[in-house]
Amino acid sequence: LDSEGRLVNPAVAKGLSDKLKPTKTAVVRKTETVPKRLAQPRAFSLADIQLEASNKYGFSAQETLDTCQSLYEIHKAASYPRSDCQYLPESQFTDAPKVLAAIAKTCPKLRELVLKADPTIKSQTWNDKQITAHHGIIPTQLPVGWAALSDKEQKIYELIGRRYLAQFFPVHQFNSCSIDLDLGGETFIGKGKTVTSLGWKVVYKNQTDPDTDKTESDQILPSVKSGDILKVLKTETKNELTKPPAYFTEGTLIAAMEKIHTVVDNPEYKKYLKEGDGIGTPATRAAIISELKRKGYLEMKGKKICTSSDGIELLKLVPELVRNPILTAVFERKLRDVESGKSTLNSFIESQQKFILQEINKAKAINNGLQ
């Protein structure tokens, strides 16, 4: 790849490498430093915490849901978990001191951070306009004995507690830096960032960092100015191959089910999938994955979730329409019509029965033609 990220012919790359080898100096063409701010991460939705628990602990989506449910139902230590919302009601902002006190009493690892938290900081997570049927998952005001929680419950409570704590620390601030160099008549660009104020990231020091700003490099660049002449210590060319997309984990699969509209081109169907929560709901996605595993269509290989040989054969047999997420959008649109009174539940059921019989008859016809 060249400095713009474009694919370069290997022969061209070698020629460039040979050209640069004798070069002993580079001239700084220009430098740029842009101050940036990164707001506090929003509260957990169920999909968010399933993703983080999968990445950090290898928990299945169902394990995370069950653990969140036990923290809610049995211990009363966390709020309702089956939520697709990342925001919190502004009316609960004044409860922060009591919630922080409960976190400090419950989780020994978070006590020092609670003492440093500032309950007067109001992050963008507090937003009534963004609240859906349920708000984001947070700790409650009820402290719980740490020893009374199972290992999984402790891990999930700590994740929820840290995310809540992050709301009460300042925004993260850093300088985004870039340096343009003239090296042997070619332009090379170095990018990096320098942290100026850690802010809420202190909550995640030595922890999983929910930093969504993946475009910035953590590389620290030297302090230089336009016109400076720098020594070139060495040049290096790497021949690499593009990597295939990573396997899904249960967490990333949940996220993909929620955001399935991003892979649909038709604007009308994209809209229905986005408004209808994608494939499944926060309450059912884990169960869908569990059922597919139970039936042997999906299998786990470490943290990776893969289609089994039976699953692949099933996909070969199932009509393309049934495999396509657009079908979910079509059903969602019909259900909206039922909800609004434009159609009836009976007509929806009848259309479903007709559709199923039609697909079965097609499959039979194909099967008879092969015999």
Q: Which residues are catalytic?
A: 80
CB contact set of 322 (below 8 Å; sequence gap of 6+): 359
| Cβ-proximal residues to 40 (8 Å cutoff; 6+ apart), any chain | 123, 124, 125, 166, 167, 169, 171, 200
Overall residue count recorded for the chain in this entry: 371
Which residue type is seen at 26? A
**Cα angle 225, 192, 194; round to 5:** 85
Residue among 57, 41, 286, 291 nearest 153 (CA): 57
- What's the one-letter identity of residue 146? W
3-state secondary structure 104-173: HHHCHHHHHHHHHCCCCCCCCCECHHHCCCCCCECECCCCCCHHHCCHHHHHHHHHHHHHHHHCCCCCEE
Q: Contact, 103 vs 164, CB < 8 A?
A: yes
Cα distances (angstroms) measured from residue 112 to each of 104, 108, 126, 153, 245: 8, 8, 24, 21, 40
The DSSP letter of residue 207 is S
Which residue matches tokens 């499959």? 363
**How far, in Å, CA of 82 to CA of 86, rounded?**
12
Radius of gyration of the chain (CA): 26
Q: How many other β-carbons are positioned within 10 Å of the β-carbon of residue 12?
A: 11
Q: Are 289 and 298 in contact (CB under 8 A)?
A: yes
